[in-house]
Amino acid sequence: MKTKKTYAVFGLGRYGTAVAKELVENGMEVIAIDFEQKIVNDMAACLPVCKCADVTDAEVISRLGIGNIDIVIVCMASNLEASVMAVTLCKEAGVKTVIAKCANEMQQKILLRVGADQVIFPEKESGIRLAKNLLSSGFIDMISLSKDVSLVEIDVKKEWCGKNLIELNLRKKYGFNIVAIKKGEKVNVNINPEQALDAETTMIVIVNTAKLGKLK
């Protein structure tokens, strides 16, 4: 049974390299791909599976088995045409989640229209932060406050619905402190521990980064 998600990173510029390295350092299976052989050669020492290939070619996508990858991150914002082709081919191959880096709002609209599931503005989200969010299954967002502590926004798990914070005792079980409850755009920091949680609620918590795995 497959337990770990697999990743492919297209484009090994600064952003793509940061994403790929963070995933690899956390033990994930990553295929890193770039058009330029020199870049691939330079990255081979730190990225175990690093290939020089044209990801705008359907035959290449098929040959590399990209259709079997869980998440593809397209980091080629400087080449919109290549990004569009890569996103399109990945979705056609059956990749469930395709995340694309963009340079502006127009690119964002185009990439979403051709099938990207998420589009990232690099000036707003670092490659390392994206990788950490991908590694943290079930998390909506995560921001590192320090090396050991993170601020995390998480969905209320199905088994938590209908129960309140006193009953769940999440601090003891998971080691995190709830700092706010969020519904839609409304954030409430005056938390009522006796109020039952529901599926539309998200929680903003502070947690020791080493304990994040307990929430997966």
107 vs 212, higher pLDDT: 107
Reduce the DSSP state of residue 69 to 3 states and report it: coil
Q: Stretch 8-18: mean pLDDT, rounded? A: 93
Query: What is the model's pLDDT at position 3?
Result: 59
Parse the chain into domains and list their residue ranges. Answer: 6-135, 139-215
Reduce the DSSP state of residue 198 to 3 states and report it: coil
Reduce the DSSP state of residue 35 to 3 states and report it: coil
Residue range 109-163, pLDDT digits in tens: 899 999 999 888 765 456 656 666 665 545 445 565 666 777 777 778 888 889 8
11 vs 123, higher pLDDT: 11
DSSP letters spanning 29-98? EEEEEES-HHHHHHHTTT-SSEEE--TT-HHHHHHTTGGG-SEEEE--TT-HHHHHHHHHHHHHHT-SEE
For residue 33, pLDDT beyond 80: yes
Superfamily of domain covering 139-215: Regulator of K+ conductance, C-terminal domain (3.30.70.1450)
Superfamily of domain covering 6-135: NAD(P)-binding Rossmann-like Domain (3.40.50.720)
For residue 22, pLDDT beyond 90: no
Query: What is the model's pLDDT at position 174?
Result: 77
Q: Please, which pLDDT band fits residue 1 given cuts at 50, 70 and 90?
A: very low
Looking at the chain, the whole-number percentage of residues with pLDDT higher than 90 is 41
The chain-wide mean pLDDT, for the chain, equals 83
Residue range 72-97, pLDDT digits in tens: 999 998 899 999 999 999 999 999 99
